[in-house]
Amino acid sequence: MKRDAVIIAGGGLAGAEAAWQVAQAGYKVRLYEMRPAKPTPAHKTGKLAEVVCSNSFKSDQEESAPWLLKEELKLLDSLLIRLAYAHRVPSGASLSVDREHFASAVTEIIGSHANVEIVREELRSIPEGAIVIIATGPLTSDSLSQSLREFAGEQHLYFYDAISPIVDAASIDMRKAFRASRYDKGAPDYLNCPFTQEEYLAFYDALVQAEPVPLHVCEKAMYFEACLPIEEMARRGIDTLRFGPMKPVGLVDPRTGRMPYAAVQLRQENLRADSYNLVGFQNHLRFGEQERVFRLIPGLQHATFLRLGQIHRNTFINSPRLLEPTLQSRRDGNVFFAGQISGVEGYVECIATGLIAGLNAARLVAGEVLLVPPRATAIGSLIHYLVSADPAGFQPENINFGIMPAPEAIGRRMGKQDKHRLQVQGALKAMADFRARLRPSVASTAR
Ligand SMILES: Cc1cc2nc3c(=O)[nH]c(=O)nc-3n(C[C@H](O)[C@H](O)[C@H](O)COP(=O)(O)OP(=O)(O)OC[C@H]3O[C@@H](n4cnc5c(N)ncnc54)[C@H](O)[C@@H]3O)c2cc1C
């Protein structure tokens, strides 16, 4: 196996970004993507970087943690973040993409790069002796999962993620739904379905009594807290949804002039604005039950569902036991992990780890010292979490200020916003310094 080429397994968000970083550094890449010949339960196309569920890349609100992560990626010349902004659709204060245009653009740019060869095959085991990045995501194929289990020397962990339903825009009753963003922040891009107390109680009863899809007997249900099925959340208490995905605060129903008792928000799916997803309505109810229960939402009584909620396995390694902060495996420094399988959660987090694995794999080929992003940065904090979290009961994490170091005390009690502002300032400065240590091409081409 020639060591001047990097093998990347998986052409998803992490793998595509990693391929771009290696190729831009001047090294050859063999990118294995098994789709379309071998599909996954969630992907629909053969394109690279297909966004499988929500089309949201989270908040773009200045000084929020997800915004900071994206700013750091821009500084590091991330291809996927540049293309996400180029193919964004209106979604208030968040960054959401037109999934078809985004994936097509990534496929076109990576596919035509002189240093990249895309191999449309399943990589069934970890190739020996080669520099490899494993970025096969939460739905890693069975053969490779088996090989990884042997490589890692311990069992993978499994839990379930779920997909939210999508409705046809033309079937939404706009005499009931209204357009607004919470607290009027940004453009009024969301459609809101307002509930009276009576409507909410009827909906709640139907939801908790609806029939779920049975879980696979061999697998234990372990839900990631940020992606709980809606019916599970409802079972935790009658008002849990009103403080979660159905919270009405910041909304005023123009028909009553008041805040509704509860509300469901619908987010635009594509530039044509012909479909909307039910924000936070991931679930694992039977399809017929979903249609019956979700038609109790005011405004969706005649909804046409283009996609219903689903539930899928998630595969990730126990990174605190297995990874170095360079994203190399402790067992074999030629093997890197990136994306969801490395134990991060979320599209942008996957891109971030893909970028760092790609940068470091290129440095390994070049015989250079591998780099770890500074702890003060959002990317550095995500990686710090991966390698230093408690390995017992390890769960994937997405970016939040809680995993970043607190700013140094400045002699007075600081409010949350001031604290976050200092964290953001420190992170951006540290990332600019880090960028200056990278190859000159990044320093000159990053925007
Ligand atoms: C059902 C579901 C819904 C999700 N919803 C969201 C969401 O709404 N928002 C969010 O931020 N995150 C979500 N996630 C989590 C995560 O952010 C996404 O899954 C993200 O796409 C992961 O990026 P990745 O690059 O790690 O993997 P992926 O983007 O899945 O890419 C992995 C690629 O590897 C390929 N592959 C797998 N095995 C092999 C093999 N052996 N050989 C060759 N190719 C292989 C796959 O075909 C795939 O293209 C969801 C995950 C799942 C499973």
Residue pLDDT tens, the chain, 447 long = 446 689 999 999 999 999 999 999 999 999 999 999 999 878 889 999 999 888 999 999 999 999 999 999 999 999 999 999 999 999 999 999 999 999 999 999 999 999 999 999 999 999 999 999 999 999 999 899 889 888 887 565 555 666 789 999 999 999 999 999 888 887 888 999 999 999 999 999 999 999 988 765 434 445 555 568 899 999 999 999 999 999 999 999 999 999 999 999 999 987 778 889 999 999 989 999 999 999 999 999 999 999 898 766 778 998 999 999 999 999 999 999 999 999 999 999 999 999 999 999 999 999 999 999 999 999 999 999 999 998 876 778 889 898 999 887 555 677 888 999 999 999 999 999 999 988 654 544 433
Q: Report how far Cα 353 is from the mean position of its chain's Cα atoms.
A: 12
C-beta 135 within 6 A of ligand 1: yes
Q: Which two tokens stand for residue 307?
A: 């996609």
C-beta 34 within 6 A of ligand 1: yes
pLDDT in tens, 46-102: 999 999 888 999 999 999 999 999 999 999 999 999 999 999 999 999 999 999 999
Q: Which residues of 218-227 are buried (b: 16+ CB within 10 A; e: fewer)?
A: eeeeebbeeb
C-beta 17 within 6 A of ligand 1: no
C-beta 139 within 6 A of ligand 1: yes
C-beta 343 within 6 A of ligand 1: no
pLDDT of residue 443: 45
Name the residue among 129, 148, 76, 50 with its Cα closest to residue 355: 76
Phi-psi region of 161 (alpha: psi -120 to 50; beta: other; left: phi over 0): beta
C-beta 12 within 6 A of ligand 1: yes
- What is the CA(92)–ligand 1 centre distance, in A? 25
C-beta 32 within 6 A of ligand 1: yes
pLDDT of residue 225: 57
User: In the CATH scheme, what is the code of domain 162-313?
Assistant: 2.40.30.260
Which of 78, 277, 347 gets mutated to test ligand 1 (max ligand atoms within 8 A of its CB)? Answer: 347
Relative to the CA of 313, which ligand 1 atom is closest? 53
- What is the CA(43)–ligand 1 centre distance, in A? 8
- What is the CA(9)–ligand 1 centre distance, in A? 12
Is the separation of the CB atoms in 166 and 305 below 8 Å? yes
Name the residue among 191, 180, 161, 187 with its Cα closest to residue 60: 187
Which of 70, 80, 136 gets mutated to test ligand 1 (max ligand atoms within 8 A of its CB)? Answer: 136
How is the chain split into domains, by residue range? Answer: 5-156+317-445, 162-313
**Beta bridge mates, 397:** 344
Q: d(Cα 193, Cα 300) in Å, to the nearest integer?
A: 8
Nearest CA to ligand 1 atom 15: 346
User: In the CATH scheme, what is the code of domain 5-156+317-445?
Assistant: 3.50.50.60
C-beta 165 within 6 A of ligand 1: no
**Beta bridge mates, 240:** none
Determine which helix (DSSP H) or strand (DSSP E) holds 119, and give its type and residue range: strand 116-119
C-beta 352 within 6 A of ligand 1: no
Determine which helix (DSSP H) or strand (DSSP E) holds 7, and give its type and residue range: strand 5-9
Q: Which two tokens stand for residue 347?
A: 């599209």
- What is the CA(159)–ligand 1 centre distance, in A? 14
- What is the CA(149)–ligand 1 centre distance, in A? 19
- What is the CA(14)–ligand 1 centre distance, in A? 9
pLDDT of residue 301: 98
Q: d(Cα 235, Cα 309) in Å, to the nearest integer?
A: 18
C-beta 194 within 6 A of ligand 1: no
Number of neighbouring beta carbons within 10 Å of residue 114: 6
Counted residue by residue, the chain has a size of: 447
pLDDT of residue 85: 98
Q: How is 300-365 classified by DSSP, letter by letter?
A: -TTPPEEE--EEEEEEE--HHHHB-TTSBBSS-TTEEE-SGGGTB-SHHHHHHHHHHHHHHHHHHH
C-beta 59 within 6 A of ligand 1: no
- What is the CA(206)–ligand 1 centre distance, in A? 32
pLDDT of residue 447: 34
Say whether pTM exceeds 0.85: no
pLDDT of residue 203: 98
**Beta bridge mates, 422:** none
Nearest CA to ligand 1 atom 20: 347
